[in-house]
Structure 1
Amino acid sequence: MTATTGTGAGRDDRDGRGGLDDRAELARLLPPATAFDLPPGRHEHHRERLMNQIDLDTAAAPAKDRAPARPRLLRPSFLAPVTALALAGALVAGYSAQGGGQAPARAGSGAPASERAGNAQPVALVLNRISDAAAKSGAGPVGDDQFVYVRSQVQDSDLTSGKLVTGPLAEREIWYAQKPGPQKKLGYIRQGGEISPINAEFGDEDGTREGISRPTYRWLAALPTDPRRLLDHLTALTPESDTQEHAQAVFDQIGDLIRETVLPPETAAALYKAAALIPGVTEAPDAVDALGRHGVGIAREDTRFATRSEWVFDPEGLSFLGSRTFLTKDSEIGGKGALLDAQAVQKRSVVDEGGVRPQD
Structure 2
Amino acid sequence: MIIVLKPTDNTTIAELKNHFEGTHDIFVHHNRVAVQGITRDDLNDVELAAADEIIEDVPAAVQGSRQFHPEDTVIRTAHSVIGGDHFTLMAGPCSVESLEHVTKMAAVAKASGATILRGGAFKPRTSPYSFQGLGEDGLKYLRQAADKYGMDVLTEVMDDEHVKMVAKYTDIFQIGARNMQNFSLLKAVGKTNIPVMLKRGMSATIDDVLNATEYIAAGGNHNIMIAERGIRTFDNKYTRNTMDVSIVPVMQKLTHYPVIIDPSHAAGHTEFVTPLALAGTAAGASGLVVEIHDDPKHAFSDGPQALKPNEYADMAEKALAIRELLTGMKTEQAEAGR
Normalised by the length of structure 2, the TM-score is: 0.31
User: Which structure has the larger Rg over C-alpha atoms?
Assistant: 2
Greater share of strand:
1
Q: Give the structure with the larger helix fraction.
A: 2
Higher relative contact order (CA 8 A, sep 6+): 1
Please give the TM-score of this superposition, normalised by the length of structure 1. Answer: 0.29
